[in-house]
């Protein structure tokens, strides 16, 4: 399955295009029994049946969740800052200069506000809002990246420790990939990633920032070979939190064993690691089909049953 052919983003921030992608995702899952795969460098998953949801700051792509920031009303934003404190400035001026007539105070303060307004740079204000957005989003949102392609050479190399790891196939219809009751907006849903070099847009207004669904499910075209689907979760709902490197915690969410449908072993996986997986499957998920990725000269990679 390949990514959708990119098209120019409409002025509404891409809502129409994302709605189309959501419909495509839904139709694919309704009319096909789709497995969704997670490449893993080790067999650690089979010791606790938990998956990590990674905050944007720890993802492989440093440009993840970085939208184009647009001020919905640049002039209004520039005016808002000096004008919203106009009355308090007048009151303070009166206290410090009680002998100055009120009309003159208002004239002076209004002139100062006008000068300040002319110095305001809307784009700088947009960056300020963006950093505010990231400070809230990064610690609270986690991403689980999956794929429909279990035979990708780059992903076996990068994400499965050069074929020493494995790929686990999950049932895309499992409740694990559906929003749970009480989950925040956009969380818990399995969505196909859209690949485009035009970033999603976040619109800023004085005092608030608005962003839509495509922000969480858009990546640059250079990543399209991953055929990614993803789920985002509110990290405060994690079942377990471990200390991680660089001070970034590891948030783990439980996966029901019946959501696992197949395991594909890398051809360089050690016998000891594979035996540990087989033991866990025998005890908790005996229904899981075992497969292996193999390399054939002049053919390439092929997934075969064990």
Whole-Å CA distances, 180 to 33, 107, 170, 233, 234: 22, 57, 18, 10, 11
17 or 73, higher pLDDT: 73
Residue ranges of E strands in 59-184 = 68-71, 141-147, 166-171
- Interacting residues of 193 by C-beta distance below 8 A, sequence separation 6+: 3, 217, 218, 219, 223, 226, 228, 229, 230
Q: Which residues of 274-284 are buried (b: 16+ CB within 10 A; e: fewer)?
A: bebbbebbeee
pLDDT at 12 over 90: no
What's the rounded Cα separation, in Å, for the pair 163 and 233?
Answer: 29
The count of residues in the chain is: 306
Please tell me the predicted confidence (pLDDT) of residue 229.
98
DSSP 92-113: HHHHH-TTS-HHHHHHHHHHHH
Return the closest-CA partner of residue 15 out of 223, 231, 215: 215
pLDDT at 183 over 70: yes
Q: Which of the residue ranges 92-96, 204-208, 261-265 has the most confident prediction, judged by mean pLDDT?
A: 261-265
pLDDT grade for 16, boundaries at 50, 70 and 90: very low
Please tell me the predicted confidence (pLDDT) of residue 127.
66
Rg (alpha carbons) of the chain, rounded to whole number: 26
Say if CB 57 and CB 235 are below 8 A apart. no
User: Per-residue pLDDT tens for 114-160?
Assistant: 665 555 555 566 666 666 766 766 778 999 999 999 999 999 999 99
Averaged pLDDT for residues 164-186: 93
Task: Give the 3-state secondary structure of residue 91.
Answer: helix
Please tell me the predicted confidence (pLDDT) of residue 5.
36
Averaged pLDDT for residues 15-36: 57
Please tell me the predicted confidence (pLDDT) of residue 173.
95
Averaged pLDDT for residues 168-174: 97
Q: Output the pTM of the full model.
A: 0.73
pLDDT at 7 over 50: no
Please tell me the predicted confidence (pLDDT) of residue 57.
83
Residue ranges of E strands in 148-196 = 166-171, 191-192, 194-195
User: Per-residue pLDDT tens for 279-299?
Assistant: 999 999 999 999 999 998 888
pLDDT at 9 over 60: no
47 or 180, higher pLDDT: 47
Sequence spans of domains, the chain = 15-70+128-305
pLDDT at 181 over 60: yes
Please tell me the predicted confidence (pLDDT) of residue 40.
98
Q: What is the mean pLDDT of the chain?
A: 81
Say if CB 305 and CB 288 are below 8 A apart. no
What's the rounded Cα separation, in Å, for the pair 303 and 209?
Answer: 46
- Interacting residues of 170 by C-beta distance below 8 A, sequence separation 6+: 35, 36, 37, 38, 146, 176, 177, 255, 259, 260, 261
Please tell me the predicted confidence (pLDDT) of residue 111.
74
User: Per-residue pLDDT tens for 76-104?
Assistant: 554 554 555 666 777 777 787 788 888 88
Whole-Å CA distances, 112 to 30, 86, 122, 264, 303: 62, 10, 18, 69, 71
Please tell me the predicted confidence (pLDDT) of residue 15.
45
Averaged pLDDT for residues 251-273: 97
- Angle (deg, nearest 10), helices 74-84 and 86-96: 30
């Amino acid at each position: 399955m390949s990514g959708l052919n990119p098209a120019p983003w409409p002025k509404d921030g891409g809502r129409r295009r994302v709605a189309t992608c959501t419909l495509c995702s839904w139709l694919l899952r309704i009319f096909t029994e789709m497995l969704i795969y997670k490449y893993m460098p080790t067999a650690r998953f089979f010791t606790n049946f938990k998956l990590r949801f990674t905050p944007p700051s720890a993802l492989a792509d440093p440009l993840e969740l970085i939208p184009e920031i647009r001020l919905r009303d640049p002039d209004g934003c520039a005016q808002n800052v000096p004008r919203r404190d106009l009355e308090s400035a007048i009151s303070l001026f009166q206290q410090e200069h009680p002998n100055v007539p009120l009309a003159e105070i208002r004239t002076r303060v209004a002139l100062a506000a006008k000068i300040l307004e002319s110095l305001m740079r809307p784009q700088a204000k947009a960056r300020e809002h963006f950093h505010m957005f990231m400070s809230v989003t990064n610690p609270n949102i986690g991403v689980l990246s999956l794929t429909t392609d279990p035979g990708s050479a780059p992903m076996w190399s990068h994400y499965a420790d050069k074929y020493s790891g494995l790929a686990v196939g999950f049932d895309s219809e499992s409740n694990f990939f559906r929003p749970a009751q009480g989950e925040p907006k956009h969380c818990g849903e399995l969505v196909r990633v859209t690949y485009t070099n035009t970033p999603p847009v976040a619109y800023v207004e004085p005092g608030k920032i608005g962003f839509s669904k495509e922000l969480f499910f858009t990546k640059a075209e250079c990543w399209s070979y991953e055929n990614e689907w993803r789920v985002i979760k509110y990290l405060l709902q994690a079942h377990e939190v471990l200390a991680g490197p660089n001070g970034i915690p590891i948030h783990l969410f439980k996966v029901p064993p019946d959501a696992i449908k197949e395991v594909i072993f890398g051809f360089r996986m050690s016998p000891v690691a594979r035996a540990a997986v087989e033991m866990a499957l025998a005890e908790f998920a005996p229904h899981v089909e075992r497969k292996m990725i193999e390399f054939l000269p002049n053919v390439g990679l092929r997934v075969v049953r064990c």
